[in-house]
């Protein structure tokens, strides 16, 4: 039986409005939020797909590089300068050129780099300085400089001081600079 009185009709309209306000409207708001989140999720997923595609492309390009080329690059521009290997290499070059090798000393980072460190923070490559002293003839010292140029490391002679010794020999002191990709770890932090 359907009541036909005014009061019962107003009561039915009130109940319908209450149902719409308490159940249907929150459900519609939830559906709208879900649709917005779905759109945002799809946009972010497309961005992730683009980044993954780029990463895959770069990884395949890296894999295409020959292992020998990777090894040469790591030798030419290492992450850090080996304070034992570089002097050993310089000594081997000196012996090969025929000069009398006296010493090689690792000084530090290049002074100009240290002075401008704040301006050059994050700038690569990082220059490291070695001082080398040798004795020999003009041709032997010239041959050593040629061999330094042909070395696997990027060795640059920044200063060269030559003095004359007895018997026609020369004494050469060189400031040789080589490079690395990162700053050295301070020794106070190394265990």
Cβ-proximal residues to 35 (8 Å cutoff; 6+ apart), any chain: none
- Residue 118's region, left for phi above 0, alpha for psi from -120 to 50, else beta, is alpha
Residues 93 and 177 in one domain: yes
pLDDT of residue 184 exceeding 60, the answer is: no
* Domain contains 38: yes
Residues 163 and 91 in one domain: yes
Per residue in 24-74, pLDDT tens? 777 777 778 888 888 888 888 999 999 999 999 988 888 888 888 877 777
With pLDDT > 90 as the criterion, what percentage of the chain qualifies? 32
Per residue in 116-175, pLDDT tens? 554 444 556 788 899 999 999 999 999 999 999 888 778 889 999 999 998 889 999 999
- Give the model's pLDDT for residue 189: 38
Phi and psi torsions of 173, nearest 5°: -120, 125
Identify the top-confidence range among 4-8, 97-101, 167-171.
97-101
For 6-33, b where at least 16 C-beta lie within 10 A, e where not — what string?
Answer: eeeeeeeeeeeeeeeeeeeeeeeeeeee
C-alpha dist (Å) from residue 142 to 55, 58, 172: 48, 43, 10
Per residue in 105-126, pLDDT tens? 988 775 555 555 544 445 567 8
Residues 47 and 130 in one domain: no
Number of domains in the chain: 2
- Give the model's pLDDT for residue 160: 94
Helices (H) and strands (E) in the chain, counts: 6, 4
Q: How confident is the model at residue 76 (pLDDT cuts 50, 70, 90)?
A: confident
Mean pLDDT for all residues in the chain: 81
Nearest to 160 by CA among 138, 183, 189: 138
Residues 89 and 172 in one domain: yes
CA dist., res. 170 & res. 97, Å (int): 14
* Domain contains 23: yes
Nearest to 130 by CA among 115, 148, 147: 148
Is 0.75 surpassed by the pTM of this model? no
Residue 154 token pair:
């990027």
Residues 177 and 114 in one domain: yes
Give residue 154's domain range: 85-183
CA dist., res. 50 & res. 113, Å (int): 39
Q: Contact 87/130 with Cβ under 8 angstroms?
A: yes
Residues 165 and 109 in one domain: yes
- Give the model's pLDDT for residue 188: 40
């Amino acid at each position: 039986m359907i009541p036909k009185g005014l009061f019962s009709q107003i009561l039915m309209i009130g109940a319908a409005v209450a149902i719409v306000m308490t159940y249907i409207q929150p459900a519609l708001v939830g559906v709208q939020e879900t649709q917005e989140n779905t759109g945002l999720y799809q946009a972010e997923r497309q961005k992730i797909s683009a980044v993954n595609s780029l990463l895959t492309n770069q990884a395949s390009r890296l894999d295409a590089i020959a292992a020998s080329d990777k090894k040469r690059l790591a030798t030419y521009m290492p992450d850090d300068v080996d304070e034992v290997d570089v002097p050993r290499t310089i000594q081997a070059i000196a012996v090969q050129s025929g000069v009398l090798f006296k010493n090689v000393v690792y000084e530090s980072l290049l002074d100009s780099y240290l002075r401008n460190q704040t301006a050059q923070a994050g700038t690569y490559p990082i220059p490291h300085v070695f001082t080398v002293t040798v004795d020999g003839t003009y041709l032997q010292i010239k041959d050593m400089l040629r061999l330094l140029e042909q070395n696997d490391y990027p060795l640059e002679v920044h200063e060269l001081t030559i003095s004359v010794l007895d018997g026609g020999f020369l004494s050469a002191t060189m400031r040789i600079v080589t490079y690395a990709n990162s700053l050295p770890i301070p020794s106070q932090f190394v265990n």
